[in-house]
Chain A
């Protein structure tokens, strides 16, 4: 028996709206902890260190260092640490050279926006 279903979701962005808007524009917005001031990217709503609400936002410079990377048939992904943020993010690394150690957040107008990286401009 065959059964086809097509689902079109409309998802409320809620408290993550600033972060998602940032991804669309290539701006790395981190949530900030009310108590300890730590900046979390990707954002967390509660601080894992002090459990206080993270109800503020701060703009990071968008640069990131590659910690681990995996490639294969499933794609090219990296764990990266954004400058100024606690913890690390998982990002699409398809646009990065294989030996890249640095990257910046790519603007993405897709729906939903992707957390993707592009090479850091040479200075």
Chain B
């Protein structure tokens, strides 16, 4: 078990203030370090989550950020796994401590996914997120692949366009109470009829935005945590990852995120928990339907679409999904996304999340989930409340 003694993020949005990714990374790191109450010299390793050098125009970004953070002698590592980049970096940090190589690890996710390049350039780059030599040769976009995958899921589970709208309304509505959110919106069902179709059935409102931003965690070995954090800090109790074939067509069921199920099982086994014990989850909703595909794969409800329709994933439901607003509402600076999810879960478990989103009941366990590709590289983290929650 690893303690999360510091957790912070910057706003996720499109920056127009002249700042850059190094500024945001410093802001998130310093906020997390202040919460942790440790010195820079205490930090043994820095794990940086950044999806693409095409965004930052900086190879080996971990070395540059270590310099900016004043961590000159720390071990540095950059992690990349598509959309799963942030969560995989969290796992790398956890493993550094579990192996005994570090007592304190800083995990910082950052990407300028919105402001560095034009939207068409980003879309072109994301086309290389899939197997360039096969699916990529069709010229297919991420939205089109997700749309085909949702169609397969919907055919099996009787998903509807209303379900896609409901996820969007829920997540962007949650984002209304999140001051860091990129797209806080109070959508109504009528909004969707006017939204341009990107790849049927996905209209623009069903897609997550491209965002700028950073998030940071300070992880600690249990016996190394400062006295004022040792008993209160949430714990990472389980990590799990798995991969699927990149080509949707090569999978037995192109609408099923099978690797996510395996990743979750590994995380639950490590934590000694089951999906039924999860009280709140941050789930990878790059597209509205992907949230339902993810919730199904994670086993967070027996009948996920029925639970969605009944409000079970709402902020006041039995298992709130994406209280932050998720990628759709809070935003998606790719490397920061998974780190931000874990930060949100940690703050929720400690009762320190945004007013209006913090449930008024004690939360025992939370789950953070990301994937790269269309459910291809999957990474799941399970967190539990601190000893004195």
Chain A residues closer than 8 Å to B196, beta-carbon distance: 72-73
CA of A42 to CA of B137, assembled, Å: 10
Contact status A68-B148, CB under 8 Å: yes
A75 in contact with B250 given A16-B133, A70-B199, A91-B138 (CB within 8 Å): no
Chain B, residue nearest A82 (CB): B249
A79 to B248, Cβ gap below 8 A?
yes
Contact A70 B144 (CB under 8 A): yes
Q: For chain A residues 56-111, which have a beta carbon within 8 Å of chain B?
A: 68-75, 77-81, 86-92
Task: Tell me which residues across on chain B come within 8 A of A75, comparing CB atoms.
Answer: 139-141, 144, 199
Cα(A74)–Cα(B147), bound, Å: 11
Residues of B within 8 A of A112 (CB): 137
Per the bound structure, the CA–CA distance linking A74 and B203 in Å amounts to 11
In this complex, the interface size class of chain A, counting residues with CB under 8 Å from chain B, is 20 to 34
CA distance A103 to B59 in the complex (A): 44
Residue B202 at the chain A interface, CB threshold 8 Å? yes
Instruction: Name B's interface SS.
Output: mixed
Decide: A70 and B147 in contact? CB cutoff 8 A.
yes
Count the A-B residue pairs with Cβ separation under 8 angstroms: how many? 109
Interface residues on B, range: 20 to 34
A115 sits at the interface (CB 8 A): yes
Is residue B261 within 8 Å, beta carbon to beta carbon, of the partner chain? no
Question: Quick check: is A33 within 8 A (CB to CB) of the other chain?
Answer: no
B55 vs chain A, min Cβ distance (A):
12
Q: Contact at A114–B139, with CB atoms within 8 Å?
A: yes
Query: A3 at interface (Cβ–Cβ under 8 A)?
Result: yes
Contact B151 A70 (CB under 8 A): yes
- B4-59 interface (Cβ within 8 A of A): 57
Asked if B199 contacts A74 (CB within 8 A), the reply is yes
> Can you identify 13 A-B contacts, CB atoms within 8 angstroms?
A42-B133, A42-B135, A43-B134, A72-B196, A72-B197, A73-B199, A75-B139, A75-B141, A75-B199, A87-B247, A90-B134, A90-B138, A90-B249
Contacts from A to B (Cβ < 8 Å): 3, 5, 16, 23, 40, 42-44, 48, 68-75, 77-81, 86-92, 112-116
The 3 closest A-B pairs by CB, nearest first: A88-B249, A42-B134, A72-B197
